[in-house]
Each structure stands twice: as C-alpha cells, then as structure tokens.
A = this chain, B = another copy of it.
C-alpha cells in the first residue's frame, strides 16, 4: 500500500490540506483491512493502538476523505463501507446467512449493465454492485437440513 501512502500525501498537499497523524492512521486502517472497511472497524482498529483518536474525528475524516475522493463509500444493508478509491471494478456477493462478503468478476455485471441500458434506458453504476444471497457453504448446509427433515 506504499503506493497509496505517497499518493495521498501528495494529493492533500496539492489542494492545500494537511497531512495529520489522524488522517494517516485512518487511511492506514482502511488499507490494513484490505481496502474495505466500516467506520466501526476503523474505530476499533485505531482505538486498539495507543494514541487515542476521537470518534467525531473518525466521522469527519472519513467524510473528508470521501469528499477528496481518496476513498469511496458504499452502503450494504444499512452499513456504510469505505474503500480506497480507484480500485479495479469489482462486485460484492453478500451472504445473508454468514455475512461473508466475496467478490465477483466484472464481466457478468458489465453484461447486465449493457442489457439493462438497452431494455430500460437506465445506466447502471457497474463499478460497485452488491448482490445478496447465500454463499456455497451456507447453501449446502441449508440443503442438508432440508433433506434431513424430509426423512
């Protein structure tokens, strides 16, 4: 993530904003989480470290970084997730049973986007689509339970 590190410092400077330890800490926390986190996760991750950081600052900083387009925000199930901006388009498969989030290749969604555009005239944002359902493991468990019941 060193690429990000250099990059954001520069971007903040350019626009006349300050590079504070709080902003660095929070960006690091997002990167450490694999570039995909919630405010709550940032909070606990950072709070675990020594120099305590105010909760209001986390809110303000995330909003600031979003406005700066260094990170992007997206909603899944009422929770806001934050990611480092400018990643390759990818999509989320959210398991309703275990909550796990996996990724889906872009091609399928790109095709869907094209179809929707043709049929409905609607331009789907195909850089961040979230689909809900059940992951393979949870689905198998559910099936087994069902067939056990039938006997």
Binding site for B on A (CB under 8 A): 75, 77-78, 80, 93, 95-96, 102, 104-105, 108, 112-113, 115-116, 119-126, 129, 131-136, 139
Contact = CB atoms under 8 A, between A and B. Distances in A.
A132 B136 contact: no
Nearest to A139: B123
A78 B122 CA distance: 22
A104 B120 CA distance: 7
| Number of copies of chain A assembled together | 2
A142 B119 CA distance: 20
Contacts of A104: 116, 119-120, 122
17 contacts: A93-B124, A102-B120, A102-B122, A104-B122, A105-B119, A108-B112, A108-B115, A112-B112, A121-B136, A122-B133, A122-B135, A122-B136, A123-B134, A123-B135, A123-B136, A124-B132, A129-B131
A10 B144 CA distance: 33
B96 A121 contact: no
Nearest to A112: B112
A129 B93 CA distance: 12
For the complex of A and B, the 5 pairs showing the least CB-CB separation, nearest first, are: A121-B136, A124-B133, A125-B133, A93-B122, A123-B134
